[in-house]
Copies of this chain bind each other. A is one copy, B any other.
Amino acid sequence: MRVGVLTGGGDCPGLNAVIRAVVRKGNKDYGYEFVGFRDGWRGPLEGDTMPLDRAAVSGILPRGGTILGSSRTNLMKIDGGVERVKDNMAGLGIDALVAIGGEDTLGVATQLTERGVNVIGVPKTIDNDLNATDYTFGFDTAVNIATEAIDRLHTTAESHHRALIVEVMGRHAGWIALHAGMAGGANVILIPERPFDIHQVVAHVESRFKTNYAPIIVVAEGAHPQEGQMELATGETDSFGHVRLGGIGQRLAEEIESRTGKEARSVVLGHVQRGGTPSAFDRVLATRLGVNAAEAVHAGDFGKMVALQGTNIVRVPLAAATEKLKTVPVERYEEAEVFFG
């Protein structure tokens, strides 16, 4: 049996660990051969492959990124795309596909399944906002990186009697902000799920300054004020049409300076959060997902996604992963609010 593997969407620490685990398990226990498709769905679309044997996956466990490359190629927007993928798979003698990716990649996987392709999905999103899995790999690494940055900023904020705003990833869900903010002892955490009241933010900042500690505010890039409260820059787009990340942290710094008369500075952690070696948690999770994806292929249980529930790896329908976004529930935010101000 020959199995194709691809990685789609933004990169995430742990992708290589999944690839290695799928290949090692499939090789050893089922005698499978593997083929790597390059750059997400572009690979099967164009038949662009690379060898994926044991030697190819040797030493990649601790490495960030993906040896297969990635892209945001959306198969469903390409005329005849699905047919080309099926033809290429047939031509290469590939019987099944392991697709590692987020909402978009798994959405395509769902549709391919409906059109007769044997697909197993592996959930990936640094933002931890995929439904049907307790955690996604990469998230723990991002939270650790953001937490370490917050640890560092405490001392500089206090020495200069400044407020420091840390902007972290999270356009639609505030998981990274919630966890890193809680772990880093932030005085305010702002997430997309809950439009913030700038007056309350300022009140927390001022109360913090009174205790002689400096305020640290962690803000998800997708957080926004309650209607009418702050003027936001209109989203600039880059030459590829993507909206530029960043912005809310800097705006908050300006607003806090002008409302409190104290210095405020912002830091945008950006791409540093998603690169580099995965944390141990993410390596274990990614490895277990990979092993179980190979088992799912062997069981012929296609159209499923492997997922973490409690301490178990389970299989859920691919569609379950993408039917809705997993956002921060109100109780979790309230736990964090205990430490505000």
Which residues 221-261 of A have a CB within 8 angstroms of B? 238-240, 254, 257-258
State the Cβ distance, A81 to closest chain B Cβ, in Å.
21
**Which of the residues B267, B279, B338 comes within 8 Å of A271, measured between beta carbons?**
B267
Task: Give chain B residues whose Cβ lies under 8 Å from the Cβ of A140.
Answer: 280-281
- Contact B339–A24 (Cβ < 8 Å): yes
Closest chain B residue, CB of each to CB of A311: B134
Task: Give chain B residues whose Cβ lies under 8 Å from the Cβ of A39.
Answer: 161
Partner-contacting stretch, out of A99-107, A110-118, A176-184, A199-207: A176-184
| Given contact pairs A64-B152, A239-B258, A254-B239, A279 touches B279 in the complex (Cβ within 8 A) | yes
- Contact A338–B159 (Cβ < 8 Å): no
State the Cβ distance, A333 to closest chain B Cβ, in Å.
12
State the Cβ distance, A52 to closest chain B Cβ, in Å.
16
Q: Mark A140-177, 1 if CB is under 8 A from B, else 0.
A: 10011111110111111111110010000000000000
| Given contact pairs A29-B338, A272-B267, A280-B143, A160 touches B70 in the complex (Cβ within 8 A) | yes
CA distance A257 to B239 in the complex (A): 7
Q: Mark A29-44, 1 if CB is under 8 A from B, else 0.
A: 1000000000100000
A21 lies within 8 A of chain B by Cβ: yes
State the Cβ distance, A150 to closest chain B Cβ, in Å.
9
On chain A, the number of residues with a Cβ less than 8 Å from chain B's Cβ atoms is 82
Closest chain B residue, CB of each to CB of A11: B159
**Which of the residues B21, B29, B158 comes within 8 Å of A65, measured between beta carbons?**
B158
State the Cβ distance, A14 to closest chain B Cβ, in Å.
10
A315 lies within 8 A of chain B by Cβ: no
Task: Give chain B residues whose Cβ lies under 8 Å from the Cβ of A179.
Answer: 280, 284
Task: Give chain B residues whose Cβ lies under 8 Å from the Cβ of A257.
Answer: 238-240
| Given contact pairs A144-B279, A159-B69, A265 touches B271 in the complex (Cβ within 8 A) | yes
Partner-contacting stretch, out of A55-63, A83-91, A190-198: A55-63
**Which of the residues B24, B152, B182, B258 comes within 8 Å of A272, measured between beta carbons?**
B152
- Contact B151–A65 (Cβ < 8 Å): no
CA distance A291 to B257 in the complex (A): 32
A25 lies within 8 A of chain B by Cβ: yes
**Which of the residues B10, B25, B159, B338 comes within 8 Å of A28, measured between beta carbons?**
B338
- In addition to A156-B271, A239-B257, 9 A-B residue pairs with Cβ atoms within 8 Å of each other are A11-B159, A63-B155, A65-B156, A66-B159, A148-B276, A152-B272, A266-B270, A267-B268, A291-B335
Q: List 14 A-B contacts (CB under 8 A).
A: A29-B338, A62-B184, A69-B159, A134-B310, A134-B311, A155-B276, A164-B271, A182-B287, A183-B287, A238-B254, A238-B257, A267-B270, A279-B281, A291-B335
